[in-house]
Amino acid sequence: MANVKIQASKNGPLLVQGDVDIVDSSGQVMQSGARFALCRCGKSANKPFCDGMHAKSGFESVCSRQVS
């Protein structure tokens, strides 16, 4: 995981890039891959993954430093 990048997008999900395993609370791998979008708004029907509901719900980021 030396080359993993997690970026908070403005008013959207956390963008994860790199060779990553998404693991549930019991330690089981939910999904493996090189790119993921993780929900920050709490409205996704596919948590922990983003399904685009942030745009429909009017989610606004609360970050000290905005990244687009």
The residue ranges of every structural domain in the chain are 5-57
Alpha-carbon distance 17 to 9, whole Å?
A: 13
Tell me the residue ranges of DSSP E strands in the chain: 5-8, 14-23, 29-38
Distances 29 to 37, 44, 49, 64 between C-alpha atoms, Å: 16, 20, 14, 31
The pair of three-digit structure tokens given for residue 36, joined into one six-digit string: 């993921």
Condensed to tens digits (0 to 9), the pLDDT of residues 1-57 reads: 579 999 999 999 999 999 999 999 999 999 998 999 999 999 999 999 999 999 999
pTM comes to 0.82
Pick the CATH number of 5-57 from 3.40.50, 3.40.5, 1.10.3720, 1.10.3470: 3.40.5
Peptide bond into 13 cis (omega under 30): no
pLDDT score, position 68? 56
- Which amino acid makes up residue 25? S
